[in-house]
Amino acid sequence: MNRITHSPHAHASVSIGTVMGTVLLALTPATLFGFWLYGWPAVNLWAVSLIAAIVGEAFVVRLQDRAVRPVLMDGSGILTAWLLAISLPPFAPWWIAVLGSLFAVVIGKQVFGGLGQNVFNPAMAARVMLLISFPLEMTTWVAPAPLGSAQAPSWMESLRITFLSQPIDGMASASLLGHVKTEFTRGVGLDQALVGYYEPMDMLWGSRAGSLGETAAVLLLIGGLFLIVRRIITWHAPFAMLLGVVVPALLFNAIDGNHYAGPMYHLLSGGLMLGAFFIVTDPVTSPNTALGQFIFGFGCGVLTWIIRTWGGYPEGVAFAVMIMNTVAPIIDQYVKPRIYGRDRKGVALPVKKEA
């Protein structure tokens, strides 16, 4: 290695692979919980998503005559597929996972130029595509049937659920956000809509109908804090996103408590925790600076709340993130750190004599 190069002649022991690996590690508890909660169909769906992403990405990278190994080894495609998988309904059919994963890594990422070049968060772009194209499959939720319990589908049944799209009787359920939205259309207020659906402790642990790995708020929170401690992410975007939901929720809940749910309801439902710690912290599609990330996260939070409250869809995290993705470059344009020896506008500081 006699290549002449500039300093530094030392490097911190980090690589893209270790960054992605740490994020995957942080996702593992919530994912394993999802596997346990929804059983074998969830495992199938997760595996199909990952395989589709790996095969799909390898294929398009080959098409571009680029080396496949380094692209797959950086782990970013796996992370994207993993994030998508845990945001899907656990009993969704296999082709939902395949379509979503392929869309995420091919259209969402490689078409833009590969790692680091995409404008939109690939997992969220795929989720939005699926939600718009296949609303039925994407909103068919099931009540928890933990592995080992009587209602849990056997492994053979799970294959039929995932690969033959055979519905299982008596397991269909509604997500909290979906249920409340439906009740509102019937003119039922929160005081009745929440009965039997909203148990904060269950919500916290995740024992409810919802996406594969989005329900366990506490486990996602722990994973997120782990990433902050490991300095993979900073607190700015996640905290701001939660704040962006809590502030309007508090405000409107105080105005009309029967129509606008309180902050806990919002914090613990849907994909907010996953979004706050694993989606808005996506480095590629978020701003560069701490303040920029705060603004970005806050925007995601407020938009999520707006879409949940007044939008046509019960959940808004994916839409909010995509909208804010388009704003990220604008935030970067205007929010820059102050340079040493210059004021905020970039003008050199005045020379002052104190002699």
Partner 1 sequence: MKLFDLRGGVHPEGKKDLSADRPIRALPLPKRLYISLQQHIGAPASPVVSVGERVLKGQLIAAAQGAVSAPIHAPTSGIIAALGDHVAPHPSGLQVPAITLESDGEDKWIATQAVDDPFALTPEDIAARVGAAGIVGLGGATFPAALKLNLSRNSGVQTLIMNGGECEPYLTCDDHIMRERAGEIIEGIRLIAYAVSAKEVLVGIEDNKPEAIAAMQAAAKESAVKIVVMPSMYPMGSEKQIIQVLTGKEIPAGGRPADIGVLVHNVATAFAVQQAIRYGKPLISRIATVSGGAIKQPCNLEVLVGTPVEELIAYTGGYTQPAARLVLGGPMMGQQFTHTDVPVVKGTSGVLALTSKEIGQAEPSPCIRCSTCVRACPVGLLPLEMASRIRASDLASAVAFGLKDCIACGSCSYVCPANIPLVHYFNYAKGDLAAQERAKLKQEATKKLADARNERMARIERERAEAMAKRKAAKEARERAAAAAKAATEVV
- The residues binding partner 1 (CB under 8 A) are 1-2, 4-16, 18-19, 70, 74, 76, 114-117, 234, 283-284, 286, 288-290, 332, 336-342, 346, 348-355
Q: How far is the CB of 124 from partner 1 (least distance, A)?
A: 16
Query: DSSP string covering 105-118, please?
Result: IIIIIGGGTSTTT-
For residues 186 and 352, which CB has a smaller minimum distance to partner 1 in the complex?
Answer: 352
User: Which tokens hold the place of 73?
Assistant: 């080894």
Q: How far is the CB of 235 from partner 1 (least distance, A)?
A: 13
Q: How far is the CB of 314 from partner 1 (least distance, A)?
A: 32
Q: How far is the CB of 8 from partner 1 (least distance, A)?
A: 4
Q: How far is the CB of 105 from partner 1 (least distance, A)?
A: 15
User: Which tokens hold the place of 93?
Assistant: 């059919």
For residues 62 and 336, which CB has a smaller minimum distance to partner 1 in the complex?
Answer: 336
Q: How far is the CB of 10 from partner 1 (least distance, A)?
A: 4
Q: How far is the CB of 86 from partner 1 (least distance, A)?
A: 21
Nearest to 231 by CA among 281, 265, 170, 291: 281
CA separation for the pair 94, 161 (Å, rounded):
9
Q: How many CB atoms lie within 10 A of CB 264?
A: 15
For residues 186 and 345, which CB has a smaller minimum distance to partner 1 in the complex?
Answer: 345
348 three-class SS = strand
For residues 14 and 132, which CB has a smaller minimum distance to partner 1 in the complex?
Answer: 14
CA separation for the pair 139, 195 (Å, rounded):
21
List beta partners, residue 348: 342
For residues 115 and 243, which CB has a smaller minimum distance to partner 1 in the complex?
Answer: 115
User: What is the SS3 string spanning 139-204?
Assistant: CCEECCCCCCCCCCCCHHHHHHHHHHCCCCCCCEECCHHHHHHHHHHCCCCHHHHCCCCCCHHHHH
> Greatest CA span in the chain, whole angstroms?
86
Residue type, position 60, single letter: V
For residues 6 and 186, which CB has a smaller minimum distance to partner 1 in the complex?
Answer: 6
Nearest to 294 by CA among 245, 234, 338: 234
For residues 118 and 253, which CB has a smaller minimum distance to partner 1 in the complex?
Answer: 118
